[in-house]
A and B are shown apart, each in its own frame.
Chain A
Amino acid sequence: RSSAAPTFGGADKAMAEHDAYFQMYLAQYGYLSPSVRNPSSGHIMDESSWRRAIAEFQSFAGLNATGELDEETTKVMSLPRCGVRDKVGFGESRA
């Protein structure tokens, strides 16, 4: 997988949807700003934020922190899990 930040406007719609899914995942569990989950926020994510978020997740999950959204990483992201954030900081509280 490419480590580049998803653009969602490219020809490869399936790839964009793939990236969007994991972008939402990283936002849901505290690795990216919650505004990523809200399309109307106009949030634009740069590649370094995307790579850093992936690397932080990998580090937390005991994977090699490459910053690449590789198969092993997406496999772990697909595991059933607790809905509480791993990282606090991007708006800790629940409503």
Chain B
Amino acid sequence: KRYALQGSRWRVKNLTYKISKYPSKLNRAEVDNELAKAFAVWSDYTDLTFTQKRSGQVHIEIRFEKGEHGDGDPFDGPGGTLAHAYFPVYGGDAHFDDAEMWSINSRRGTNLFQVAAHEFGHSLGLSHSDVRSALMAPFYRGYDPAFQLDQDDIQGIQALYGHKTQTDIGGPLPAAPSVPRA
């Protein structure tokens, strides 16, 4: 075992999130899509589900902010710190530095999907891993077009939320077989 657990986790498996403040330089629909993909990284291996809401109370609030943004941990402009997130015991919110050049499916800039998937790992209770190939390693490694979750990350999230018991089959469930009445 190399992954690290912070010590808190969500007691429910159906979690909601809201993007309260979008990045200034990206299309909102694309951001919605990338962040949904980032959550799916974790729901692919557990029974967790993530549902986006536009308003009201949610479990995980997401904001793109510059500099000081109210939590006493100001962002530092391009490079350096890219984002941070709170563990479940502190609310699970994720903040991204809007001064970064966030990118989608591109080697230029900082890949939003990969960083978001990492931050959501914190939102779910994972700490940083010292396995270099793990998503939960603290350093940004650059765009990986063939991104896959490392076994270390899978073991970590399943230690918190268990294995996936329901398989996504990519379509509607077949009709239940009829059972003759006794």
Q: Give the B-binding residues of A (Cβ under 8 A).
A: 29, 59-62, 76, 79-86, 88, 93-95
Q: Are B138 and A84 in contact (CB under 8 A)?
A: yes
- Pick from B80, B85, B110: contact of A84, CB below 8 A: B85
Do B130 and A84 touch (CB < 8 A)?
A: no
Chain B residues packing against A (C-beta within 8 Å): 6, 71-73, 75, 79-86, 90, 110, 115, 118-119, 122, 127-128, 130, 132, 138-140
* 21 contacting pairs across A/B (C-beta < 8 A): A59-B130, A60-B128, A79-B139, A80-B81, A80-B140, A81-B82, A81-B138, A81-B140, A82-B81, A82-B118, A82-B128, A82-B139, A82-B140, A83-B75, A83-B82, A83-B84, A84-B85, A84-B138, A85-B128, A86-B127, A93-B90
| B139 with A83: CB separation less than 8 A | no
B6 close to A88 (CB less than 8 A): yes
Closest to A28 in B: B81
The verdict on A80 contacting B139 (CB below 8 Å), with A86-B128, A88-B6, A94-B71 known, is: yes
In the docked arrangement, what's the CA distance between A86 and B4, Å?
Answer: 10
Residues of A contacting B138 in the complex (Cβ-Cβ under 8 angstroms): 29, 81-82, 84, 86
Question: Nearest 10 CB-CB pairs, A to B?
Answer: A83-B84, A83-B81, A80-B140, A95-B72, A79-B139, A86-B128, A81-B139, A82-B138, A81-B138, A60-B130
Pairwise interchain contact A95-B140, C-beta atoms closer than 8 A = no
